Amino acid sequence: MSSHRLVITDAIEQQIVAHARACKPHEMCGLLVGEPGGDRALEFHACRNAAASAIVYTLDPKDYMRVEREADDRGLAVLGVVHSHTHTEAYPSPTDVAQAPDPNWNYAIVSLKYDPPRLRNFRIVGGDISETALERV
């Protein structure tokens, strides 16, 4: 694991899992918001999966712009994206890696393959995947 970490509350994790279950059989997606440059997610914003697919996700551009603008207006920033894997491990797929837009973002994945679901966090830099610490508070 790298020295990066993501800190989330139990409430945020519950929101993520609930959104993933509600979107099944499709992958869900959403954004994590917190202090700029920080490692603690203060909010989870559920977004529409524009791909409406069970195997890929595409953040709805309008949802992304809205969340980013609202966060910026409050002095916050998007810290990363969350999406679900409905039947596979919580690990970035080749498509996830190819679509990773920002090396500073967290890429959290919740797997619904297990009960309870498993949430893991990664950094993706230049195609390289590093699992990071996920701390629950």
Structure tokens at 106: 């967290």
pLDDT, tens only, 5-21: 999 999 999 999 999 99
Band (pLDDT 50/70/90 cuts) for residue 1 is very low
pLDDT value for 3: 58
Does the pLDDT value for residue 101 go beyond 90? Answer: no
Residue 6: HSE in the Cβ half-sphere, 13 Å Cα cutoff: 31
* CATH class of the domain at 5-136: alpha beta
More confident residue, 137 or 101: 137
The whole-model pTM stands at 0.94
